[in-house]
Structure 1
């Protein structure tokens, strides 16, 4: 659908794109990722034909964009820009109906008798899919930035093109509408539309896109599926920062966690004990270890996937026999590690009679981070004793979702170190 051949673009004396070559097949959702200034927006504008390349060529549907009239180009490619500023003061419905302009001899409002049934149906459908119908009569200048972003997406859908370009489509949206927007774009690709989107959130890009193009310094540094493109060495070279790449524990998609600078060997980041099991903390163990923390974990049964991860990382682990409950000796070992740790993490783990001792041992912690993705009563198989222990740990700890664990650990360790310094003084 889209072919980009050796494209170079210079703006203000700076080479923004330099020898970019790639193709986007029909019905694929391709994400453009990379640091600020990498050339993502410039590449989108070049595909659309707004910018003429200084070298190379862009073809859409087999034809050079430069050879297409403005109306013909608009019948092939629709654009949702990052800048949602609109200077006119039309109602939202009329703004959406502007997407039908390439198919008319001249623009007329959506309520005009001269507008055919097909146009009205496409406008109505676009507004319904983007959930902007409730404020159809409001002025486009009176809606919020997030609402305006959805109006522009509706306009692009009403344009009914085989290809769709989006520049940071979730930038003005809250997390709820970010997910809804990308779910809709994913549906459009599944229905056959070709989509290219610049997306700053690597994890959203990995979850929703079929393929990624990693841009840096005006060049494509990596191209392919998210797992291939978001490799740690690629990210370090492009973003000049350290990151850990793993699988999200819930979605299974590639997941990137940026890390702070690694501390010097004689300046350990701190001690963290992790209570997990059943694969709930494998990614966290990797992230904490890579960040320079001294990590211990357990108690875990032999054969547990979290234990396999801990051993592959060379971490200190308290173990029990396969399928055996956490015994007295193991509980004492866990308590010792909890007391030595600057912070203890209690994962979103199922609790039964066999591992209830881990919760009891966690009571020894001065600082607790409780990871909660599911309500505890949905994973509590040990009755009221477990519920009381969990409530106690939650009330005196930090309760966070899985995406906020690393930041919570950083805060907990910093507070513990501050408290230790005060006591020493």
Structure 2
């Protein structure tokens, strides 16, 4: 009979007067990486400490490979699940190899300080796998934060368990070490281990985890693949802030941006033409600055269109191949004509010249360009000439300077400038 590597069944835990976990049911299979995400105090660490037997639940059951933790005992639990703690500081200057050797404790008698050949082979494999063999004699207090984290991953690897528990494995690490540690964990998952990790960085969790479990106030809010869990619908009540979730430009996995609710005192309408990441950033900047924002036409499935939907921005949609309809073009042209400014955010210039025609109907075009025109012009020399004419009368701004540029442009209308 197949069992989940880790399984929680209606687990509840109280810490003093606080209900830390309430009726939590989760499972992790071999070869799966489950990420625990949620705000501080959500119960992530309590859940992990319950999995590895440090905390006994008030109700419900925790099973490792089908056997209840209460039946395994401390040594049995340590043979089923290894833990990489958040706090990797140590009081004594053990060597790196000594730290890794601690992972073999569940297999040795208390009086056995050296271990047998199996222990030595497991330690050597762990040091090699984590690229710590050259640092084996270095005091653990003398290595970098990333190296120390790898040493504790090596300790868990030497423990030779089917399950791993990691509590904020990337906390306080530089981005290169964050990626390095999670890549290493991914390799261990590929070997057939099951792992559950509390991860603070939502983007990293989305990139490396197969599934996510969102915890808030000790309760599961959502469980599923990153695309399902990381939505404003789930994140806003959990973190008490609005979010915009868009595909990462490189990995394609969800990227989460927390956004403050803007003031609404500008009473000025700005229209955005363009698509992709630049248009998405322009929409977010303008929305946060309190402008009334419209956008489009934008092709279905575009990143900027996703941002517009997250922020409840009115956006005109066009099929990706056939282009906008006549009614959509008329609507967009009216927006460009009446808006205090039209922002052209890395617009793609097609053979039909639609975006140029719309921009030419604007009294205040503002260009925001991060890519050269040659990459965006699909209309030949005529389109290039029209674009250069547009440039001659348009204001140019960076993403960060966009709001001040618009405010300066419309200053005669007494619209307050952004801070």
**TM bin (shorter chain):** 0.7 to 0.9
Of residues 85, 88, 93, the one that matches 2:89 is: 85
Is the 1:99–1:155 Cα contact (8 Å) retained in structure 2? yes
- Cα deviations by residue, 1:211-236 (Å, 9 ceiling, x for unpaired): 11111111112122222222322112
1:21 aligns with 2:25: yes
How far apart are 1:370 and its partner, in Å? 5.2
Is the 1:27–1:193 Cα contact (8 Å) retained in structure 2? yes
- RMSD over aligned Cα atoms: 4.7
TM-score (ref. length: structure 2): 0.74
Which residue does the alignment assign to 2:39? 35
- SS of 1:261 mapped into structure 2: coil
How far apart are 1:69 and its partner, in Å? 2.6
How far apart are 1:58 and its partner, in Å? 1.1
- Cα deviations by residue, 1:68-112 (Å, 9 ceiling, x for unpaired): 232221111000111111112111122122212222224777xx6
How far apart are 1:125 and its partner, in Å? 3.0
Which residue does the alignment assign to 1:413? 403
- In structure 2, relative to structure 1, the CA distance for the partners of 1:33 and 1:308 (3 Å cut) is closer
Number of corresponding residues: 392
Which residue does the alignment assign to 2:330? none
How far apart are 1:273 and its partner, in Å? 6.2
Is the 1:101–1:107 Cα contact (8 Å) retained in structure 2? no
Distance 1:3 1:315 in 2: 44
Unaligned runs of 5+ in 2: 324-332, 389-395
Which residue does the alignment assign to 1:70? 74
Is the 1:18–1:219 Cα contact (8 Å) retained in structure 2? yes
Is the 2:36–2:213 Cα contact (8 Å) retained in structure 1? yes
Is the 1:344–1:369 Cα contact (8 Å) retained in structure 2? yes
Is the 1:257–1:287 Cα contact (8 Å) retained in structure 2? no
- SS of 1:68 mapped into structure 2: helix
- SS of 1:127 mapped into structure 2: helix
1:261 aligns with 2:227: no
Unaligned runs of 5+ in 1: 324-332, 390-395, 400-407
- Cα deviations by residue, 1:153-196 (Å, 9 ceiling, x for unpaired): 12111211100001111112111121222222222222211110
Distance 2:29 2:267 in 1: 46
- In structure 2, relative to structure 1, the CA distance for the partners of 1:351 and 1:140 (3 Å cut) is farther
1:152 aligns with 2:152: yes
Is the 1:285–1:295 Cα contact (8 Å) retained in structure 2? no
Distance 1:192 1:353 in 2: 52
Distance 1:232 1:286 in 2: 17
- Cα deviations by residue, 1:286-335 (Å, 9 ceiling, x for unpaired): 756865544466797xx6865977799534799xx979xxxxxxxxx8xx
Is the 1:132–1:151 Cα contact (8 Å) retained in structure 2? yes
- In structure 2, relative to structure 1, the CA distance for the partners of 1:186 and 1:367 (3 Å cut) is farther
- SS of 1:8 mapped into structure 2: strand
How far apart are 1:143 and its partner, in Å? 2.1
Which residue does the alignment assign to 2:391? none
- SS of 1:21 mapped into structure 2: strand
Is the 1:164–1:196 Cα contact (8 Å) retained in structure 2? yes
Which residue does the alignment assign to 1:104? 108
